[in-house]
Amino acid sequence: MESRIERDLIAAFRQSFEREPRLFRAPGRLNLIGEHTDYNDGFVMPAALDLSIWAAIAPRPDRRLRIRSLIMDEVVEFDLDDTAAQPRGDWSDYIRGVALFLQKAGYRLSGVDLVLDGNLPIGAGLSASAAFEVSAGFALLTISGAEVDRVELAKICQRAENQFVGVRCGIMDQYISCCAVAGSALLLDCRSLTSRKVVIDPKARLVLCDTMVRHQLASDEYNLRREDCERAVAALSTRIAGISALRDVTFPQLMRHGDAMPERVFRRARHVVGEIDRTLRAAAAFDAGDLKECGRLMNLSHESLRDDYEVSCAELDLMVDIAHRLPGVYGARMMGGGFGGCTINLVEAKHTDAFVRAMAERYRTATGVTPQILTCVAGPGAGPAGL
């Protein structure tokens, strides 16, 4: 049975292009723990949301790509043969970049008409950007008759965001959007791109709370954090042989050689090295069903993101503080790139409804803003509609 968003998307495509499309979807993601570790070759623990960006697509006889975004209420058009195209600085760069880098990877793409829509909030830290990239990439490859290698598609989408859009993100968002497994999180090694399932104890629920504060990663704060991590690796390489990323550094090594770098850079490195360790410990705790330990590690993650990585904000800190005062909460932390967006909360199942009501009331009382709150179900990765 078609969902409302599928019906609306088909109707919009017919109205725009007067023919029948095929539908594809790519999910957003949550991340239980492992923040800002992916671009340091570390470990992360994401899951796909049951919220997605949808693409309706049909081939054209030429080499034009016409895109209508219902979310942005805008139409753009470009030539697939214009390989020297420059970014426009808007949402269309995510699609144009993917098309460009698919072709650089050797894929022969067909011209298409494309309509995009979704129920995934933009700028909330749920990786709408990766969902845009993956939904468009999956659709473009399929319509062009190419076989979709999910890991390869994730890598191409990341490359497009790094080199065309200009956000130096890691691989986590694109990987989980492509490769997620319904009902589970994944422990992903961002160096080897291997992963395994992590089952969430059914006695707990994952609840996302949206501050309604919107970030803009391309405003350079994200990229500055990555540059600090690279500075830390360069400094440590003068003291420690064989390291290429902060993933290769142990906590004792970092503490021993912290004087090799400026204090700010040291704090950035301390977050990353500690967060990689917390992520591995959290995976073991989930495997053992130790929800209290999982929550404790999530709490430590937030403190580190707030104090050492400095990517939190007053509203995120407020939400985490409210969560800590509510019954049945194992742990809470900010999630995503930072500077706004969502918190993720690990809540005892029987307390979930009360948590949602209390969080909404207390946050609204403190800020005058009504938060969006979602109890999450881990969904599957990208694919055609109905799969």
d(CA 17, CA 112): 11
Which member of 38, 41, 173, 201 is catalytic?
Answer: 173
Which of these, 366, 370, 368, 367, lies nearest to 356 by C-alpha position? Answer: 370
Both tokens assigned to 179: 């490769």
Is residue 44 a contact partner of residue 21, using CB atoms and an 8 Å limit? no
The DSSP annotation for 17-74 comes to: HSSPPEEEEEEEEEESS-TT-GGGT-EE-EEEEEEEEEEEEEE-SSSEEEEEETTTTE
189 is catalytic: no
Beta strand residue intervals within the chain, DSSP E: 22-31, 43-44, 46-59, 64-69, 74-79, 112-118, 185-189, 194-198, 204-210, 329-335, 342-348, 372-375, 383-384
Residues in the chain: 387
Residues serving a catalytic function are: 173
